[in-house]
């Protein structure tokens, strides 16, 4: 039961929350797989000893079958979730490497911040004239992901007393060719993320760089 009760402690390491969550889910998957193997062994014994010829044996076989079905379904779900978290962790590391370059401007760049009401903010960038709450998605951008970025920006605004915090969603799968604003949230890919933040913060750009879309 320990792996089910494990708490995740953020240490401001990019991808830390997602990585630990992914490995916890993988540990849970392994525990359920061990139980599934035991049930398979029970089926082998039941077939050899003809359990279904008695009422108690038949009940035991049906109960084991139901448990096997439940375990198989949960193993698939937890396995998929674990892979998603681990992929998300790697994506956050890549985004963090791009954001860390902005420290040359004297900006504060912090990763994996625990929020007061649960969950975490993937990245927070504080410039003198702007602030950014950045959520990373290894897959495609969705309305739910943009809503998460907006919620994180609202939390950061109150938490750190900034007049405004820009919500940014960085997607690594099928990103837009250039940063674009959808509602109150910006969506961008990894390659254009630093440029987006620099332009919004008023950093002079080199000639020839593509301008933002409103």
Could you read off the pLDDT of 157-189 as tens digits, one per residue?
998 888 999 999 999 888 888 899 999 999 999
- Looking at 29-43, 60-74, 134-148, 199-213, which range is the least confident one? 199-213
DSSP codes, 92-149: HHHHHHHHHGGGGGT-EEEEEEEPTTSSEEEEEEEETTEEEEEEEESS---HHHHHHH
Confidence of residue 211 (pLDDT cuts 50, 70, 90): low
Q: What is the pLDDT of residues 183-208, one digit of tens each?
A: 999 999 999 999 999 999 887 666 55
Q: What is the pLDDT of residues 48-78, one digit of tens each?
A: 888 888 888 888 888 988 998 998 999 899 8
Confidence of residue 212 (pLDDT cuts 50, 70, 90): low
Is 5's pLDDT higher than 60?
A: no
Q: Structurally, what CATH architecture does the domain formed by 106-200 represent? A: 3-Layer(aba) Sandwich (3.40)
> What is the domain partition of the chain in residue ranges?
2-96, 106-200
Is 4's pLDDT higher than 50?
A: no
- Write down the pTM of the prediction: 0.72
Query: Strand 185-188 vs strand 166-171: parallel, antiparallel, or unpaired?
Result: parallel
In whole angstroms, what is the distance from residue 196 CA to residue 179 CA?
Answer: 7
The pLDDT assigned to 114 comes to 86
Half-sphere exposure of 121 (CA within 13 A, CB side): 27
């Amino acid at each position: 039961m320990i792996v089910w009760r494990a708490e995740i402690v953020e240490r401001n390491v990019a991808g830390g929350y997602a990585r630990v969550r992914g490995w916890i889910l993988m540990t849970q998957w392994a525990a359920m797989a061990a139980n599934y193997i035991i049930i398979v062994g029970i089926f082998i014994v039941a077939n050899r000893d003809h359990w279904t010829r008695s009422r108690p044996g038949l009940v035991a076989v049906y109960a084991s079958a139901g448990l096997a079905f439940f375990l198989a379904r949960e193993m698939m779900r937890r396995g998929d979730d674990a892979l998603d978290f681990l992929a998300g962790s790697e994506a956050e590391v890549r985004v963090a490497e791009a954001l860390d370059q902005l420290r040359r401007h004297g900006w504060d760049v912090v990763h994996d911040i625990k929020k007061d009401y649960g969950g975490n903010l993937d990245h927070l960038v504080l410039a003198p004239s702007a602030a950014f709450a950045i959520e990373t998605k290894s897959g495609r951008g969705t309305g739910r992901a943009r809503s998460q970025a907006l919620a994180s920006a609202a939390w950061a605004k109150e938490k750190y007393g900034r007049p405004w915090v820009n919500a940014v969603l960085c997607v690594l799968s099928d990103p837009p060719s250039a940063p674009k604003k959808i509602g109150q949230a910006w969506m961008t890919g990894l390659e254009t993320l630093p440029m987006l933040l620099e332009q919004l913060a008023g950093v002079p750009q080199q000639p020839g760089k593509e301008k933002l879309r409103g």
